[in-house]
Amino acid sequence: MSGQDQAAGLRKWANQQRQEQQADAPLDVAPAEYVSETMRESPLLAPTESPVVSPVMVAPPKPKTPLVVVGLPGSGASNVRKVKARLGQWSALGRSWAGDPDDWEVRIVMADADNLPHWRDNYPRWALWISSDADAFAAMYRTLRQLREGGGPNRLLALHEPHLPRQGLLDNLRGAAEYYLKMELLVLAR
């Protein structure tokens, strides 16, 4: 028998199988909803019960929580990934407020933006990205001062590396923001 004859025979057999299944199915049930005889005879179902097919409910996507971040150079996607990675680190440390990093809508804003009052009025969650390099205090204080002068928020989360000790940079920056700028920098304990 040639390969072509064999393929024709298989197609014919497959068509007969489909026709038999369709003939056995009730007329008012679409083929996708047809319940096979083996399912009807399942010991899990009572003899008079028939399986109930319920539609799959898809939950609408959860709205993301906006977080405005200042203190980063530029507003590119790499900075958003850095912030989400940092939130992921906090979440891994058991900080329930951090949740899933993908639940946050991170918006990078420059501290000297002209429309800071608009941002402040529309977005309640703000964070200051704190680097741990040698010039971090001066750069972060300058960012806070620009926020204050531009009408930005008075309260920000200190978004820093989890291993950065509270003593030193974080306490100094928090104290300077409170004393000189009348701003609250929320530094979370380890």
Cβ partners under 8 Å of residue 39, min gap 6? 45, 51
For residue 51, what pLDDT is reported? 58
> Rg of the chain's alpha carbons, rounded to an integer?
31
As beta bridge partners, residue 65 has: 104
Closest-CA residue to 87 (of 164, 162, 143): 162
pTM strictly above 0.75: no
* pLDDT value for 160: 85
CA angle (43, 49, 53) in 5-degree steps: 100
pLDDT for the residue numbered 1:
52
- Residue-level pLDDT at 38: 47
Q: Sign of the C-alpha dihedral, residues 118, 123, 129, 130?
A: positive
The per-residue pLDDT string of the chain (190 residues; one tens digit each, 9 = 90 and over) reads 555 666 777 777 777 777 776 665 555 544 444 444 444 454 554 555 555 666 777 777 778 899 999 999 877 889 999 999 999 988 888 888 888 999 999 999 999 999 999 999 999 999 999 988 888 899 999 999 999 999 999 999 999 877 778 888 999 999 999 999 999 999 876 5
Instruction: Please tell me the predicted confidence (pLDDT) of residue 131.
Output: 87
Return the H-helix or E-strand segment holding 128. Answer: strand 126-129
Our separate counts of H helices and E strands in the chain read 6, 5
Alpha helices, H only, the chain: 3-24, 37-40, 77-92, 116-122, 136-150, 171-181
